[in-house]
Amino acid sequence: MQIKEMAERCGWKLLCGKAGEEREAEGCYIGDLLSWVMSRAGENNVWLTVMGNINAIAVAALTEVSAIVLTESASLDEEAKNRAETQGIPVYSCEENTYDTAVKVYEMLK
């Protein structure tokens, strides 16, 4: 499923990275400790986190996740937004907590 379709169905708000919305979502990874995510997130995973800084964008690029979803309305700083836009990494925001968001992603990927 394309990340754009998943985002629409889940009601996520696109903050930046529209150019990457055609990527496929094939799994999910949850984590806020960037070094941990860097060594464990898989390519084309939807990454659920509250980390909205430039380092999170670097980790997303390195791991080739399909998108970042900032749960619980976590903010995305301007520097991170600009970098994600440049690199075509979709970053979404949602109000739900991480658990509820993960359940939605799981249901979509079944």
> Is the Cα dihedral 50, 74, 62, 99 positive or negative?
positive
**Residue range 18-54, pLDDT digits in tens:** 999 999 999 999 999 999 999 999 999 999 999 999 9
Mean pLDDT of 86-110: 97
With pLDDT > 90 as the criterion, what percentage of the chain qualifies? 100
Mean pLDDT of 67-76: 98
Q: What pLDDT shows up at residue 18?
A: 97
Q: For the chain, what is the domain count?
A: 1
Q: In sequence order, what are the residues at sequence separation of 6 or more whose Cβ sits closer than 8 angstroms to the Cβ of residue 10?
A: 94, 101, 104, 105, 108
Q: Domain limits at 13?
A: 3-109
CATH number at residue 19: 3.40.1390.20
Residue 85's pLDDT band (cuts 50, 70, 90) = very high
Q: What pLDDT shows up at residue 15?
A: 98
Measured CA to CA, the distance from residue 103 to residue 97 in angstroms comes to 10
Mean pLDDT of 42-69: 98
